[in-house]
Chain A
């Protein structure tokens, strides 16, 4: 399946674009996605934290992703 990942802040700058399409096995977990992205973009691994959001909620590592999900990479937030 193909997952479309929205990118923000420093994650957007590291990847060099505001969204990314990755092909992933059916049932790919959040953790699996993060491992693949960190391998492809080592600078992501140097951030203080890196979360995945699924449909506007923070997703735990074991959540299985689907093509229908709205997925985003969430680098350390700094609002306020």
Chain B
């Protein structure tokens, strides 16, 4: 019911969506995070994602479990995060959930991506033509 993955291979979005198909679900909601070509107006060339794998997987599962506690009607939850070097347009993260009705699917999907960004031990470095920055590292 909960599937979590952290991978250095490209994420197969269609396959991820299939994992949340459920006969009891009238709604599948997906969030796909992709690499944008600029950050605060500065052109981005590529991103590098680094993870503390064991903790990231543990925390991802906890976030998914919290979502299931909050929305017990969740049928399936899949969260896949990429690591390594990503270029513009690459998929960095996929969150997919299925529920009987649509309202809970939106809420649970948003809860999972928002919480993931706050607690999961993954770090992103943005590379520009003329430098690089660890995102969110400094105030």
Contact = CB atoms under 8 A, between A and B. Distances in A.
A79 B52 contact: no
Given A72-B55, A77-B118, A80-B33, A47 B137 contact: yes
Contacts, number: 80
Interface stretch (A3-11, A20-28, A60-68): A3-11
Interface size range on B against A: 20 to 34
Contacts of A72: 52, 55, 121
19 contacts: A6-B52, A8-B123, A10-B137, A46-B138, A47-B137, A48-B136, A48-B138, A48-B139, A72-B121, A76-B134, A77-B122, A78-B124, A78-B134, A79-B49, A79-B56, A79-B81, A79-B117, A79-B120, A80-B113
